[in-house]
């Protein structure tokens, strides 16, 4: 129940030795593109997730054409059968990029990209796209964002927003962890645009949470088993993935064929629940039995007041805005204490959101609000 304040470089002093920190090593895509029609109208195309091929690496390495699910800004100006075109010069080669609106899905569109080159789509993106900084910053992407909006350990491209809790970490922090005997490992959750969607519903159960792709390898699962329960999730995305891994194990033990999709209210849908170690061991055994090194999963899990966090004793996270699923997640960890924490942050003029200050929060053993 005690609140202390220090600089971030001292974080290792507040974590006991032999704890395991779990980071999200996703990398932010240059997902925002702009095309200009002959009429002068500017159309913004914002990549959400790969549609065809559906696997991230396959899609980003595809040549000639690929399809993505996208948000489209100024969509009314993009008439049916209109093909948007942009000409690029890459290494002296003139490349024409076309974007064709194939179909609509709720408030998004399937866009087919075609280009006159054997370069992979990622190379095209690096020339045509911009890093999508959060909309609440209300400014265009600047050169500094190319470095500042990626973590020092980012590895796998796929996010449209950074796992911002990890932006605070430098190589110095990892050196301090090694010296103190604090362990760390990585999983990959590609952060979706839904992370910015406010919860405008009157009741939490009326809010439909976005689905995100994540991947966990056998080494990470092995370390979770080794150090559980002494685990700290670095960021809300890491915690979301960790809790989803637990539920995936339970779904597997319940003989669910689609165990690699974790529904929004899985906490309340499953009745035969095992202990976290039992559930995680089930996934490890599954990987061993099928000679797999990693699991691909999708999660829509909602972690909100009343949810009992099982997979971590603490979380490193920034300060979040009201009416967000992220703040709901924080309140599930610390219970009613979130009021005191945020009151302290406001009174002491802490910075909120993506480029703001950080916190190390320990789980309230009493559970949710």
Distance CA 333, CA 173 (A): 24
When pLDDT is cut at 50, 70 and 90, the band that residue 270 belongs to is low
Query: 223 lies in a domain?
Result: yes
pLDDT at 367 over 50: no
Chain centre to alpha carbon of residue 336: 26
Q: Which of 149-158, 181-190, 201-210, 297-306 has the lowest mean pLDDT?
A: 201-210
Cα–Cα dist 249/179, whole Å: 34
Distance CA 123, CA 115 (A): 11
DSSP codes, 145-165: HHHHTS-TT--EEEESS--GG
Q: Quote the distance between the C-alpha of residue 57 and its chain's center.
A: 17
Residue at 1 is within a domain: no
C-beta separation of 304 from 331 below 8 A: yes
Write out pLDDT tens, residues 58-97.
Answer: 999 999 999 999 999 999 999 988 999 999 999 999 999 9
Sign of CA dihedral 182, 188, 193, 194: negative
CA 24 to chain CA centroid, Å, is 8
Residues 169 and 232 in one domain: yes
More confident of the two residues 204 and 271: 204
* Predicted pLDDT of residue 320: 87
pLDDT band at 141 (very low <50, low <70, confident <90, very high): confident
Q: Are both 265 and 356 inside the same structural domain?
A: yes
CA 156, CA 6: separation in Å to the nearest integer?
32
Residues 106 and 189 in one domain: no
pLDDT score, position 368:
33
pLDDT higher than threshold 90 for residue 154? yes
Indicate if 210 and 341 belong to the same structural domain. yes
- We report the CATH number of the domain holding residue 250 as 3.40.1780.10
Q: Given this model, what pLDDT does residue 365 score? A: 61
134 pLDDT exceeds 80? no
Interacting residues of 125 by C-beta distance below 8 A, sequence separation 6+ = 29, 30, 31, 33, 47, 60
Whether residues 341 and 290 fall in one domain: yes
Q: How far apart are CA 280 and CA 257, in angstroms?
A: 17
104 and 55 in one domain? yes
pLDDT band with cut points at 50, 70 and 90 for residue 366: very low
pLDDT score recorded for residue 271: 63
Domain that holds residue 214: 8-27+153-362
- Residue 2 maps to a domain: no
User: So what's the pLDDT on residue 369?
Assistant: 27
Residues 114, 198, single domain; the answer is no
How far apart are alpha carbons 190 and 193 in whole angstroms?
10
Q: Which of 189, 210, 158 is nearest to 31 (CA)?
A: 158
Question: What is the arithmetic mean of pLDDT over 248-272?
Answer: 89
Q: pLDDT per residue over 191-243, tens digit each? A: 998 777 777 887 888 888 889 999 999 999 999 999 999 999 999 999 999 99
Domain boundary among 76, 97, 130: 130
Domain count, the chain: 2
Instruction: List pLDDT tens digits, range 277-296.
Output: 999 999 999 999 999 999 99
Q: Do 233 and 328 belong to one domain?
A: yes
3-state per-residue secondary structure call for 64-115:
CEEEEEEEEECHHHCCCCCEEEEEEEECCEEEEEEEEEEEEECCEEEEEEEE
Rounded Cα–Cα distance for residues 123 and 100 (Å): 19
The mean of the pLDDT values for the chain is 92
Residue 72 neighbours by CB under 8 Å, 6+ apart = 43, 44, 45, 46, 78, 101, 108, 109, 111
Each residue's pLDDT tens digit, 305-349: 989 999 999 999 999 888 888 888 999 999 989 889 999 999 988
| Shared-domain flag, residues 174 and 224 | yes
Residue 58, domain member (yes or no): yes
């Amino acid at each position: 129940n005690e609140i202390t304040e220090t600089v971030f470089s001292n974080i290792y002093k507040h974590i006991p030795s032999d704890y395991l920190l779990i980071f999200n090593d996703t990398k932010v895509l240059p997902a925002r593109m702009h095309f200009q029609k002959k009429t002068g109208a500017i159309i913004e195309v914002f990549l959400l997730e790969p549609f065809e091929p559906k696997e991230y690496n396959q899609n980003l390495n595809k040549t000639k054409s690929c399809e993505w699910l996208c948000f489209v800004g100024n969509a009314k100006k993009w008439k049916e059968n209109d093909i948007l075109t942009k000409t690029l010069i890459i290494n002296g080669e003139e490349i024409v990029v076309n974007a064709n609106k194939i179909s609509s899905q709720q408030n998004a569109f399937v866009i087919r990209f075609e280009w006159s080159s054997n370069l992979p789509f990622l190379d095209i993106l690096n020339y045509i796209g911009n890093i999508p900084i959060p909309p609440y910053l209300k400014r265009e992407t600047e050169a500094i964002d190319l470095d500042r909006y990626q973590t020092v350990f980012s590895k796998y491209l796929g996010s449209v927003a950074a796992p911002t809790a990890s932006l605070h970490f430098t190589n110095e922090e990892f050196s301090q962890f090694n010296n103190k005997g604090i362990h760390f490992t990585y999983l990959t959750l590609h952060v979706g645009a839904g992370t910015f969607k406010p919860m405008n519903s009157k009741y939490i159960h009326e809010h439909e949470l976005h689905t995100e792709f994540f991947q966990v390898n056998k080494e990470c699962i092995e370390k979770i088993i080794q150090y559980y329960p002494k685990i700290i999730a670095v960021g809300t995305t890491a915690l979301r993935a960790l809790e989803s891994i637990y539920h995936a194990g339970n779904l597997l033990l319940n003989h669910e064929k689609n165990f690699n999709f974790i529904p929004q209210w899985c906490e309340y849908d499953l009745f035969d629940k095992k202990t976290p170690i039992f559930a995680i061991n089930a996934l490890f055994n599954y990987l061993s039995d099928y000679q797999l090194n990693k699991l691909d999963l999708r999660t829509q899990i909602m972690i909100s007041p009343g949810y009992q966090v099982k997979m971590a004793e603490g979380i490193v996270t920034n300060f979040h805005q009201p009416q967000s699923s992220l703040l709901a997640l924080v309140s599930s960890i610390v219970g009613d204490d979130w009021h005191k924490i945020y009151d302290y942050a406001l009174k002491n003029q802490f910075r909120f959101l993506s480029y703001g200050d950080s916190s190390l929060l320990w789980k309230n053993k009493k559970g949710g609000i």
